[in-house]
Structure 1
């Protein structure tokens, strides 16, 4: 079963047991949480490594606001099997790539000059949210 417009999210998450009866969800949906050590089961050594990465990037003047959460640093650490030097090199390469392509400044400098022409040809709007908090998109 999918999620209907009036159904609850928990109803869509329920699974059928082997007897055919609906079973309750096995756990909460994945949510963004700063307690990465709880979510991902980081060891004390891995937590220290994350702090060390953060401090090293700050010392080099490379620390960015989007890195200011445990999940971002954890992705780089896991990608390099928790090897500090490899994770740091990967982070530096990523930050250089973002800088060279202007990724972090793109939205602040981008202008959609054709917006009014597009709006005249393709009428659309966003109208509040439904009962589950999802945006309602209307095409005319």
Structure 2
């Protein structure tokens, strides 16, 4: 069984559509049906997203398809702990500054629009 056939078997077992798989992994639509090999980088992405997929089954073909439940939970806990809260706060602050700048620009453009509308109205009145 090829690597891609194993992924398809996993998706079928988990009742995950190919489209959902493509969206979640960022792989191009039709990748699983193409003749190209999977590649290590793509495999890492898949294993990072689908934590219950057992690399021992996937690569050498040994062991069960799914990891034991306790291994899955440990992997997810490690992932959650690896998220750096300081980086998230910094990103929120950056986005807040950008939002403030956009709000100010919108106010300025609104004022310009009002002024132009008034000028148009004035020109219409003069023309009459």
TM-score where L is the length of structure 2 = 0.23
Higher relative contact order (CA 8 A, sep 6+): 2
Specify which structure has the higher proportion of strand. Answer: 1
**Which of the pair is proportionally richer in helix?**
2
TM-score, normalised on structure 1?
Answer: 0.22
Select the structure of larger CA radius of gyration: 2
